Structures are given as C-alpha cells and as structure tokens.
C-alpha cells in the first residue's frame, strides 16, 4: 500500500463524510514529501482535533508508516472544501 492510500484510509476512518476525503502527494524539498489532506468543512475539526492533537497523531502514524517503508520525511497539510 502506498503512503497516499494509507493516509486516505486512515483519515476516512475518522470523518463522517469519507467520500469527501482526498489525499494528494506533492514533492517538497529533496528529502521530504508533502501530503495534502482535503476533507469536508464539517469534518475539518475532527481531523485537526482539540489543540491539534488528532493532527499530531496522524502525523506520527504517517511518519511511522513512511519510515517502515523507506519513504522520505512526510509533511501533512490539512484543508477543507
């Protein structure tokens, strides 16, 4: 499973409108990759969480997945429609 698919499945399990979730990968700096997570506006709070705790947890899980699969450093951007 690719990092984009993994992240998309992870986020879909959190939100109320999983059909609205979209994850795109962009090349960042030479040693990093940027993942843009786009969710419905009503789900943005659930993905970010109180004081950003859910977003930090997502970053940690995605970084761990990337490390295990010899990927680059991952940065997450969370946005809504």
pLDDT of residue 81: 80
Q: What is the pTM of this model?
A: 0.86
15: helix, coil or strand? coil
H/E element, 74: strand 73-80
Domains in the chain with CATH codes: 3-80 (3.30.300.20)
pLDDT of residue 1: 66
Which tokens in the block code for residue 51? 């004081």
Tell me the pLDDT of the chain (81 aa) as tens digits. Answer: 689 999 999 999 999 999 999 999 887 677 788 999 999 999 999 999 999 999 999 999 999 999 998 777 888 899 888
- In angstroms, the CA 17 to CA 34 distance is 23
- Contacts for 15 with CB less than 8 Å, ≥ 6 apart: 21, 39, 40, 43, 46, 47
Residue positions counted in the chain? 81
- In angstroms, the CA 25 to CA 74 distance is 10
């Amino acid at each position: 499973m690719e990092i984009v698919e993994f992240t998309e499945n992870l986020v879909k399990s959190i939100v109320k409108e999983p059909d609205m979730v979209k994850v795109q990968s962009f090349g960042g700096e030479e040693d990093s990759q940027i993942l843009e997570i786009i969710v419905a506006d009503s789900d943005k709070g659930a993905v970010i969480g109180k004081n950003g705790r859910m977003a930090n947890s997502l970053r940690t899980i995605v970084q761990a997945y990337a490390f295990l699969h010899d990927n680059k450093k991952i940065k997450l951007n969370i946005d809504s429609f």
